[in-house]
Amino acid sequence: MNAIYTPDAPEAVGPYSQAIVSGGMLYTSGQIPLDPATGAMVQGGIEEQATRVMENLRAVLLAGGSDFEHAVKVNCYLSDMALFADFNAVYARYFTTKPARSCVAVKELPKGAMLEVEVIAETKTAQVMKL
C-alpha cells in the first residue's frame, strides 16, 4: 500500500492521504474545490467548483499512475440536487468512459463546498497485468 501526494492538488484538510494505491487500484480521497496553490475555495458557482474538483482529481490520478479513462467507480456528493444537471455537464467532459457512479445530496460538505468527488481507478500496474 502506497500513499500518493502531489503538490498539483490541494493538501488534505485532515489526517488522510490524497490517495492510496493498493493491489493495482488507486483510491482517491474526496476532492473539494480548493485551489492547490492557495488552499482557498475557488470563487463562482457549480461550474467553476466542479471544474476545480476535476482538475484536482486529474492531478491525483496522474500522480498515482492512472487517469480518468481508467476510473471504475466515482462517488459524487452535492450540497443540493438542484446542482445535478450543471454538475453533470462538467462531469461528462472528464469521465468520457462512463464509469459506475453514485451521486447523492448531503447536508453539508467541508469548507462550505458545493460538491466533493472521489474516484476508484485502475493503475498502470493493473492495466499491464491484464495483457
Residue 33: which CATH number? Answer: 3.30.1330.40
Its domain, for residue 25, covers 2-130
Q: What is the mean pLDDT of residues 84-92?
A: 98
* Cell numbers placing 62: 496522474
- pLDDT-derived band at 127 (thresholds 50, 70, 90) equals low
Output the pLDDT for position 98.
Answer: 97
Q: How many domains does the chain have?
A: 1
Q: Are strands 71-78 and 115-122 parallel, antiparallel or unpaired?
A: antiparallel
Residue 130 clears pLDDT 80, i.e. is over it: no
* Cell numbers placing 55: 482538475
- pLDDT-derived band at 96 (thresholds 50, 70, 90) equals very high
